């Protein structure tokens, strides 16, 4: 059974009403570890009619991998060409026709891609949040044996904004101020945070919440660099197999 996580955003009735009156939605993003250039995408969006004094966000460790011909550029909505159910430690192979297959012999701790097609793609992972599986990141991958390893991290970012943005859209700069929330070691895999119109985001001084400003680089915030690159390891292993 998939591990479940949750975060509750607590607000006063006055705050909720003001957010609704001014057309604010709550946007969510998810952190990953990966090497190379890539960007986070809008993982989920709660419209103003879904904002409550105790707004609950729930997600599970249920993943899909995808490939796409969409470009990794600001405000581009990623449209998946193919998707496949996957898990941590799986290796997703893109064949010459651009189709996906998955095996469980990938690098430990990551969801990895090996592109055997003679063309570049965009790849990434989707994760189930509030009963929908949505794209959370986008990375370019070269063709003819290039690899990409992506490790999901239990950290999310939350932003209230009046911007109208679809899920799976690449966002390079924060639309407004927000909160980075780590669920690593959280009791019951759950966090409770507060939001006020004048006070912003808070969690009674907890170190697992970090505030960030509008225009913050979202990739710097959410995409962590690994100490060892599984990408190069995969490419090397494939190259050796080709020579055998």
Over the stretch 69-112, which tens digit does the pLDDT of each residue have? 999 999 999 999 999 999 999 999 999 999 999 999 999 999 99
Looking at residue 229, its pLDDT comes to 56
Q: Which two tokens stand for residue 160?
A: 């209230």
237 phi and psi, to 5 degrees?
A: -60, -40
CA 156 – CA 40 distance, rounded (Å): 11
Give the residue-averaged pLDDT of 175-181: 99
Q: Which of 175, 174, 209 is nearest to 195 (CA)?
A: 209
Predicted TM-score (pTM) of the model is 0.92
In the chain, where the domains are located: 4-243
What Cα–Cα distance (Å) separates residue 114 from each residue in 14, 127, 146, 231, 239?
A: 51, 20, 6, 9, 12
């Amino acid at each position: 059974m998939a591990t479940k996580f949750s975060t509750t955003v607590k607000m006063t009735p006055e705050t909720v009403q003001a957010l609704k009156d001014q057309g604010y939605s709550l946007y969510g993003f998810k952190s990953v570890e990966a090497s190379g250039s890539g960007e986070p995408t809008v993982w989920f969006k709660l419209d103003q009619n879904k904002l409550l004094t105790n707004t609950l966000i729930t997600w599970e460790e249920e993943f899909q991998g995808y490939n796409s011909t969409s470009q990794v550029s600001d405000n581009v909505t990623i449209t998946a060409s193919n998707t496949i159910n996957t898990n941590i430690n799986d290796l997703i192979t893109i064949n010459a026709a651009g189709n996906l297959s998955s095996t469980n012999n990938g690098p430990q701790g990551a969801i990895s891609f090996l592109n055997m097609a003679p063309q570049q793609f965009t790849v990434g992972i989707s994760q189930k949040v509030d009963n929908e599986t949505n794209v959370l990141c986008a990375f370019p991958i070269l063709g003819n044996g290039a690899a990409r390893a992506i490790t999901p991290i239990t950290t999310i970012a939350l932003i209230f904004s009046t911007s109208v943005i679809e899920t799976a859209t690449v966002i390079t700069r924060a639309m407004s101020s927000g909160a980075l929330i780590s669920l690593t070691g959280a009791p019951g895999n759950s966090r409770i945070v507060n939001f006020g119109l004048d006070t912003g985001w808070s969690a009674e001084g907890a170190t697992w919440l970090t505030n960030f400003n509008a225009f913050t680089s979202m990739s710097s915030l959410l995409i962590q660099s690994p100490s060892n690159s599984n990408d190069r390891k995969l490419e090397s292993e494939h190259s050796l197999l080709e020579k055998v």
